[in-house]
Amino acid sequence: MYYFETIKCEDFEVLNLDYHNKRVANTIGLNINLQEYIYPPSNELLRCKVIYDEEGITDVEYFKYKKREIKSFKIIVEDKINYSKKYVNRTALDNLFNQRENADEIIIIKNDFVTDTSIANIAIHDGSSWITPKTPLLYGTTRARLIEEKRIFEKEITIDMLKNAKKFALMNAMIDFDILEDYSFFL
């Protein structure tokens, strides 16, 4: 089984590496220092993809990063999906993403609760604080950092809570915490 980490590199710096190291250790039970494998080839904003398996690092690739514009979300209900580890094989997520119709992205509902999009964890502002799903599909590194910093809090989120949120944000290693100004949800 192959897994991967998406790591942000900018100005020859590798960002938030401690959280990626922790997730690799939790995924395969090995303490690997990813810094020993990542050497950004330029000062541009790069998406570094580190591929690994139970034996260790198998490949490191770099891509110029261009942020996707996401404004509309199709809500998809799927109780059987499991993406608890960052698997290279994303077929289950891709199949759900392909159901998005005219939307830019999907939001996956599992067992009656909001989880994630196909590429990011989410957070909603309930009027007093930012909350993120208590049971996401994937425990993201940016999500972990923001919870540790007490900038977001875990709570089960229903579809009604999502629709009534005062603000909505996406978060992942590349976009950090991105508050969307203009967005819509549909079933």
Kindly write down the DSSP assignment for every residue of 96-139, as one continuous string.
Answer: HHTT-TT-SEEEEEETTEE-B-SS-EEEEE-SSSEEEESS-SS-
pTM for the structure as a whole: 0.95
pLDDT digits (tens, 9 = 90+) for 17-32: 999 999 999 999 999 9
Give residue 139's pLDDT band: very low, low, confident or very high (50, 70, 90). Answer: very high
Residue 187: its pLDDT value, please? 85
Please determine, for residue 76, whether its predicted confidence score (pLDDT) is greater than 90.
yes
CA distances from 7 to 13, 14, 105, 137, 182 (A): 10, 7, 21, 19, 27
User: Rounded distance, CA 55 to CA 52, Å?
Assistant: 8
Q: Average pLDDT, stretch 126-147?
A: 97
Convert the pLDDT of each residue in 78-128 to its tens digit: 999 999 999 999 999 999 999 999 999 999 999 999 999 999 999 999 999
SS3 28: helix
Average confidence (pLDDT) over 154-172: 97
Checking if the pLDDT of 73 tops 90, the result is yes
